[in-house]
Chains A and B, each alone.
Chain A
Amino acid sequence: MKHRTFIGFIGPSLFLMALFIAGPLFSVFWQSLHVTQPIYIQVETEVCTPGFLSQKCTTEIQTQPQMGPDGKIITETKFAGFESYRSLLKPELFLKHFSQQEWSELNNINFYKALRFTLTFTLITLPIVLILGLLIALSVNQALQSFRGPIIFISLLPFVITPVIGALSIRWLFVGDGILTTLFEWLLERDISMFAQGWTIEILMLGYRVWHVAPFAFIVFYAGLQTVSRDTLESAIVDGATRWQRLRLVILPHLSPLILFVSIIHLMDSYRVFEEVIGFRSEAHVISLQWLTYDLLIPDDTGNRLISRASASSMLTMIGIILLLIFPLRRSWREHKLLKRG
């Protein structure tokens, strides 16, 4: 292909990537290194209770941001270096607690609390999603041709549901005297409160995520199974290979690029776990890195938002995803090179 034609084809998408990925990324990085603060003045204000039966008024000194002549708040933006990262990571406290193995104290720092959950969540759901997806794919592949359509349709349904809505429905099934809690209480003959402690909420979150994502793994693996060479499989049968040997030596090697693909997508997605925290209202027990960014970003009653720290937090989330992806990507790169060499 001519150089010009190549640029012509790739140009638009490069432009859009720069506009929507590189641009925001750079902006977030810049904001994480700077702080923007209003200039405050102390104002004596009269505060009155509403005129409900009787009214009480008091004067107090309030801190208010100073307004410019155009009615906008005057702000100044300063370079803060890695201060926002420091206040998130608290390196001194981390080293102190880490060296003395004080895990509960470490867990008390929001960032490490979130990191602990995010990592366990990601790493526990990954193998379950892969194995479950593969199992469903294999069994659908064995099913009668006429049943396959409906089975595929039904197994895909969880993947179609909007994540927040799915999480909310699971909470409604279990919270208080929800249908499923009542059922389990009746079966086990004891009182159950799924949302009263951290570990039960975590189990619900893991279960919900696996239920939600396994269909994606299933459909990818199922597509892969359609391309397994029948000749190889039949010759394996002729050679006396058991079902397990056929799976291990023929099917899995054939699917391995797909397994890698599903793993990479799943690692990226579940490291950004967020909907579960909101849907299950788990802030008291379990928080995730993405939730931490959200909590810093969302304005409080007086409109304060901690944008610098939120930016730092999302940069750290991105770095975390890159670190997680290094291993599968290196593997994929090596296989790619092997293939090239033939």
Chain B
Amino acid sequence: MGLEVPTTYYELLTAADKVAASGQVQYALGGTYKAGWNLAEEFVNMYMGMGGDFFDGSKPTLNNAMGVRTLEMMRNLTHYMDPEYLVADSTYVQQQFQQGKIAMAVLWATRAAAMDDAKESQVVGKVKMAAAPSPVSGALPASTLWWDGVVLAKNMTDQQADEAFQLLMEGIDREMVTNNNDAAVWLINGYKPGPMAMGAAETAENGALPYPNGIEMGLMHTALGNNVADFLTGKETAEQTLLDIEAEYTTAAKEKGLL
């Protein structure tokens, strides 16, 4: 259709509009909007992309214009999605892609390899990963970086720790990466970023922030996951939703002794 790869969400919406009008796929967009953790993660991505702050110390600060714009952008996106977006998790969106039902989605980079798996995908070679768009031109990408690491418990004996460490090193060595190069976006020497990983690389290059993990954020994530849907389904205004999120966070933070 000659569409450019969107770099902002405004461009993404324009592109989605054209795709929807063309009628070539069932839904122009997919999204991991399952109520709860997934939905909260999408809010965090967008809000961080706008440069919003969640906290002042331990006090919530998301009831602001950026919070409202984040919610409104999310609702605009849902107009192009399968109406059952509130039950869609990563696997559901991945399957929508594989079955050719959606044209675009913001999805974990680790899900990319499945698109080219001929055993389960009908769209082999047709899906490409690009960098996560920004909410507006010049802002940060609407994405947060996540990665897996390994931790050894402090109370192990030295011998146990040695053995565990050797086992881990054996498990994540160069040979393992070469054999499974496309199974994930590895942060290990010897990994060659394939075409599917370039999106994640560019997103990181464009300045995406790591997920702001912390005790407060855990509580905030839960509060987001329980309340954002009320705005998307039209039960509440954006302002009321943000007030509810802050109220739920505050109650939880008081119980945890943070406030």
B219 A62 Cβ-Cβ under 8 A: no
Residues on B with beta carbons closer than 8 Å to the beta carbon of A197: 233
Q: Does A71 make an interface contact (CB < 8 A)?
A: yes
A39, A176, A302: which contacts B214 (Cβ < 8 A)? A302
B36 A176 Cβ-Cβ under 8 A: no
Q: Does B251 make an interface contact (CB < 8 A)?
A: yes
Q: Does A309 make an interface contact (CB < 8 A)?
A: yes
Given A40-B258, A63-B214, A285-B233, does the pair A49, B83 have CB atoms closer than 8 Å?
Answer: no
A295 B221 Cβ-Cβ under 8 A: no
Residues on B with beta carbons closer than 8 Å to the beta carbon of A303: 218
| Shortest distance from the beta carbon of A305 to any chain B beta carbon, whole Å | 9
Given A193-B82, A281-B35, does the pair A304, B218 have CB atoms closer than 8 Å?
Answer: yes
Q: Does B216 make an interface contact (CB < 8 A)?
A: yes
| Shortest distance from the beta carbon of B216 to any chain A beta carbon, whole Å | 6
Q: Does B244 make an interface contact (CB < 8 A)?
A: yes
B257 A40 Cβ-Cβ under 8 A: yes
8 Å CB interface, B206-259 against A: 207, 209-210, 213-219, 221-222, 225-226, 229-230, 232-233, 235-236, 240, 244, 251-252, 254-258
Q: Does B86 make an interface contact (CB < 8 A)?
A: yes
A39 to B207 CA separation, bound complex (whole angstroms): 34
Given A40-B258, A281-B34, does the pair A302, B217 have CB atoms closer than 8 Å?
Answer: yes
The stretch that binds B, out of A14-22, A50-58, A115-123, A137-145, is A50-58
B35 A284 Cβ-Cβ under 8 A: yes
Residues on B with beta carbons closer than 8 Å to the beta carbon of A49: 145, 204, 209-210
Residues on B with beta carbons closer than 8 Å to the beta carbon of A229: none
Q: Does A332 make an interface contact (CB < 8 A)?
A: no
Residues on B with beta carbons closer than 8 Å to the beta carbon of A306: 252, 255-256
Given A175-B84, A284-B229, does the pair A35, B257 have CB atoms closer than 8 Å?
Answer: yes
B35, B155, B233, B255: which contacts A309 (Cβ < 8 A)? B255
A-B contact pairs, 11 of them (CB 8 A): A37-B256, A37-B257, A54-B205, A62-B214, A64-B215, A87-B251, A87-B254, A87-B255, A283-B229, A285-B86, A302-B218
| Shortest distance from the beta carbon of B150 to any chain A beta carbon, whole Å | 13
* A contact residues vs B (CB 8 Å cutoff): 35, 37-40, 47-54, 56, 62-65, 71, 84, 87, 104, 108, 110, 171, 175-177, 193-197, 280-281, 283-285, 295, 300-304, 306, 308-309
Given A37-B257, A52-B204, does the pair A195, B187 have CB atoms closer than 8 Å?
Answer: no
Residues on A with beta carbons closer than 8 Å to the beta carbon of B200: 52
A222 to B6 CA separation, bound complex (whole angstroms): 65
| Shortest distance from the beta carbon of A53 to any chain B beta carbon, whole Å | 6
Residues on A with beta carbons closer than 8 Å to the beta carbon of B155: 71
B215, B226, B257: which contacts A110 (Cβ < 8 A)? B226
| Shortest distance from the beta carbon of A307 to any chain B beta carbon, whole Å | 9
A50 B213 Cβ-Cβ under 8 A: no
A304 B35 Cβ-Cβ under 8 A: no
In chain B, what residue has the closest Cβ to A54?
Answer: B205
A52 B257 Cβ-Cβ under 8 A: no
In chain A, what residue has the closest Cβ to B36?
Answer: A283
A195 to B255 CA separation, bound complex (whole angstroms): 34
Given A284-B233, A304-B218, A304-B252, does the pair A50, B145 have CB atoms closer than 8 Å?
Answer: yes
| Shortest distance from the beta carbon of B202 to any chain A beta carbon, whole Å | 9
| Shortest distance from the beta carbon of B258 to any chain A beta carbon, whole Å | 7
| Shortest distance from the beta carbon of A56 to any chain B beta carbon, whole Å | 8
Interface string of B126-148 (1 = CB under 8 A from A): 00000000000000000001010
A53, A175, A177, A196: which contacts B205 (Cβ < 8 A)? A53
Q: Does B110 make an interface contact (CB < 8 A)?
A: no
| Shortest distance from the beta carbon of A45 to any chain B beta carbon, whole Å | 9
User: Which of B101, B207, B214, B219 is most buried by chain A, counting CB atoms within 10 A of its CB?
Assistant: B214
A280 to B201 CA separation, bound complex (whole angstroms): 36
A300 to B213 CA separation, bound complex (whole angstroms): 11
B86 A301 Cβ-Cβ under 8 A: no
A108 B201 Cβ-Cβ under 8 A: no
Residues on A with beta carbons closer than 8 Å to the beta carbon of B172: none
Residues on B with beta carbons closer than 8 Å to the beta carbon of A104: 235
Residues on A with beta carbons closer than 8 Å to the beta carbon of B209: 49
B204 A53 Cβ-Cβ under 8 A: yes
In chain A, what residue has the closest Cβ to B154?
Answer: A71
Q: Does B61 make an interface contact (CB < 8 A)?
A: no
The 10 closest A-B pairs by CB, nearest first: A37-B257, A302-B218, A284-B35, A284-B229, A196-B83, A300-B218, A284-B86, A281-B87, A195-B84, A193-B83
In chain A, what residue has the closest Cβ to B209?
Answer: A49
Given A281-B35, A309-B255, does the pair A65, B226 have CB atoms closer than 8 Å?
Answer: no
A303 to B217 CA separation, bound complex (whole angstroms): 11
B252 A51 Cβ-Cβ under 8 A: no
Given A87-B251, A104-B235, A285-B233, does the pair A176, B82 have CB atoms closer than 8 Å?
Answer: yes
